[in-house]
Structure 1
Amino acid sequence: MQFTHPETAALYADVVAAGPDLVVGLDFDGTLAPIVEDPTQAHVHPAVPDLLVELADRVRGVAVVTGRPVRQALALGDLDAVGTRITERGRSFAVLGQYGNERWTGSERRVVSPRPPAGLAGFLREVPALLRRVDARDAYVESKGLAIALHTRRLDDPEGAFSRLLPVVSDAATRHGLAIEPGRLVVEVRAPGMHKGLAVAGLAEQWQAKGFLFAGDDLGDVEAFTELTAMRSDGVATMAICSHGGDGPPELEELADHVVDGPDGVVEFLRRLVVDLDGAGGSR
């Protein structure tokens, strides 16, 4: 693997050296699975299941950290079976859904989730009127249990509809005491107080990470990348991988240590990581 800057190569070498004390966190959509018009059809790259098992053999733990509900990620990624295989080998695997509000592990095999946030039902009742107001009646409304996501990708002018929708949704979310999470042609409304940065910090503490690599593709991953920067200042070997697929947010790419081209690039990167961990004696 070739890195443009010597600093990036040094960060990667430190992550590889962390070996059995390394934690790997991975976003789902745009990172393990391609971005598609129908989010119910976003299946992971075909190499992902076996690759996650190989990776888990060589590190402290592997986690999928996603804005999706855990059960969706499990189904679309065949992650239940992945968790079984990893756990049977004595390794650690977790799926953190809805930005860390939900948790499932290969050992416990049940979804731990809080109640839906106060105000979400009221916001949902307003959604049809909000969409009419910004001429986005046909936007796809996805109920996630703990959140509501409004997708404009299927509309004739998806970017224009998104730009009109975002401020209106933001105002409504504020009135209902909710947080917003903008993404690529989607805006999600959910409970405040949890984000991927907190999820990453929790994993690092639980699994006693001395190294942490995280790959993501969208604005929801900014907090995770920021947390890696803080961890690095505390002496943890970290590396942030931006899976942009050609249209990722510039805010995330600016925080990234290395950029790859979508799920194909993530798979290529992780395959090389497995090889280099073996070369450094990381297989246990």
Structure 2
Amino acid sequence: MVLRVVQVVLGLARPMQDADGIGCFTVKTAAGRIALNEILQNIRRTILLVDLDGSFWDPVRWPKRPLVLCQIPRLFSRLGRHRLFMMAYLTGRASEQLRSFGMLVRGVVAWCQFGAERWQDGKQVDLVPVPSGLEAANSELEGTPYSVERKTHAVAEHWTATDTAEAVELLLARHQRLAEQHGLAYHPGNLVVELSPQGLSKKVSAACFARQFLPVEAMEGFVREFAPVELEVYELMWSSLEATGGRLVPSLQSPYFIYVGDSAPDMGVFLLLDYLRGLGIPVLKVAVRGYQPLEDLADIVVDGPAGALQFVRELEIHTAPWWLRCLRRSLGHAA
């Protein structure tokens, strides 16, 4: 009996320090496995940046009514409160929408509307101006049978999987035309298409986000490939961060990066992580199944929002002391 107790205690005390200790997903790349092992051993140097719609809840036609599970903001808030672990969103949602869903929580930094606005600790700042052509584009969307989501810096139109391919093709063509006519950027996503400030994308915002934690020269190679309008927006965003003090983030020494996304706009973030990996920085690319080009670039592919949530729960377990990790596992990862 005493021997059994000792075995149990020793088993509980054994920390999970490699990718083999996580069973809810498979790491499909060698680079991803190396990165995950590094991250699990140094979890408090990790920055977790995530998309939201389509990644942690299913996209919906009527965007004001997504099914946001109550444990999601609680989980993200717990992660954000780890002072040496940073939790952030990079989303097309406006900050006011996230507030209505209960997603603006203490400890989390939200880069909203593709990075046009930034929220932290109750303070929101605009990083780029409202595009001049947005009002005209909005007026041309009046009367559409689809769900239109109007935001301060952007407008999005949503459809469902039941709409025909022909109808969706016409909708996308109309948005491409509106983008060209009114000087806006065109972003097709998961059952949604968005028009936003020209030059603004998740790729540009993610680069500006990463620059907060890295030497400026580390980003030069990636930024060098930007189109002139992208570079202009990138520098504008950085200037806005410096002017507002928004770039003052928790100090992380030699940080690691994880990104979770599900659709075409997330491709640019994956490209940034590939670049950072080339610099020797441990990064992990997680794709929610459904958009094949993103899956092809990913280190890990999870099944739907439930899989993404399970992945983040596993990360949370690794931020806790060994005894609490074991307790949470025994309780089935209770949120």
TM range (shorter): 0.7 to 0.9
2:278 maps to 233
1:168 maps to 174
Paired residues of 1:26 and 1:65 also in contact (CA < 8 A): yes
CA shift, 1:112, in A, is: 0.9
1:146 maps to 153
Measure the CA separation in 2 of the matches of 1:276 and 1:110. Answer: 30
1:134 maps to none
Paired residues of 1:58 and 1:274 also in contact (CA < 8 A): no
Measure the CA separation in 2 of the matches of 1:233 and 1:110. Answer: 35
Gapped regions of structure 2 (runs ≥ 5):
1-21, 215-253, 326-335
| Deviation by residue 1:86-106 (Cα, 9 ceiling, x = unmatched) | 3xxxxxx20110111110002
Of 287, 291, 305 in structure 2, the residue corresponding to residue 263 of structure 1 is: 305
Length, aligned pairs only? 258
Of 14, 35, 41 in structure 2, the residue corresponding to residue 11 of structure 1 is: 35
Paired residues of 1:27 and 1:216 also in contact (CA < 8 A): yes
Structure 1 residues 167 and 152 mapped into 2: Cα distance closer, same or farther (>3 Å)?
Answer: same
Measure the CA separation in 1 of the matches of 2:264 and 2:132. Answer: 24
Gapped regions of structure 1 (runs ≥ 5):
87-92, 132-136
Match for 1:68: what amino acid?
R
Match for 2:297: what amino acid?
L
User: Which entry has the higher C-alpha Rg, 1 or 2?
Assistant: 2
1:127 aligns with 2:141: yes
CA shift, 1:110, in A, is: 2.1
Paired residues of 1:24 and 1:63 also in contact (CA < 8 A): yes
Paired residues of 2:148 and 2:157 also in contact (CA < 8 A): yes
2:293 maps to 251
When structure 1 is superposed on structure 2, of 12-21 and 259-268 the one drifting more is: 12-21
Measure the CA separation in 2 of the matches of 1:147 and 1:5. Answer: 36
2:225 maps to none
Match for 2:269: what amino acid?
A
Structure 1 residues 253 and 211 mapped into 2: Cα distance closer, same or farther (>3 Å)?
Answer: same
Identity among equivalent pairs (%): 29
Match for 2:110: what amino acid?
V
1:53 maps to 77
2:56 maps to 32
CA shift, 1:111, in A, is: 1.7
2:90 maps to 65
CA shift, 1:269, in A, is: 0.7
1:82-93 equivalent positions in 2, closer than 5 A: 82-83=105-106, 86=107, 93=108
CA shift, 1:204, in A, is: 2.4
Provide TM-score, normalisation by structure 1: 0.82
Alpha-carbon RMSD: 2.3
Paired residues of 1:45 and 1:263 also in contact (CA < 8 A): no
2:68 maps to 44
Measure the CA separation in 1 of the matches of 2:180 and 2:129. Answer: 19
1:90 maps to none
CA shift, 1:42, in A, is: 1.3
Of 90, 93, 96 in structure 1, the residue corresponding to residue 111 of structure 2 is: 96
Of 192, 197, 204 in structure 1, the residue corresponding to residue 198 of structure 2 is: 192
Measure the CA separation in 2 of the matches of 1:18 and 1:197. Answer: 26
Paired residues of 1:152 and 1:161 also in contact (CA < 8 A): no
Of 204, 209, 212 in structure 1, the residue corresponding to residue 210 of structure 2 is: 204
Paired residues of 1:26 and 1:63 also in contact (CA < 8 A): yes
CA shift, 1:24, in A, is: 0.5
Paired residues of 1:58 and 1:277 also in contact (CA < 8 A): no
Measure the CA separation in 1 of the matches of 2:40 and 2:27. Answer: 18
When structure 1 is superposed on structure 2, of 47-56 and 176-185 the one drifting more is: 47-56
Measure the CA separation in 2 of the matches of 1:205 and 1:184. Answer: 28
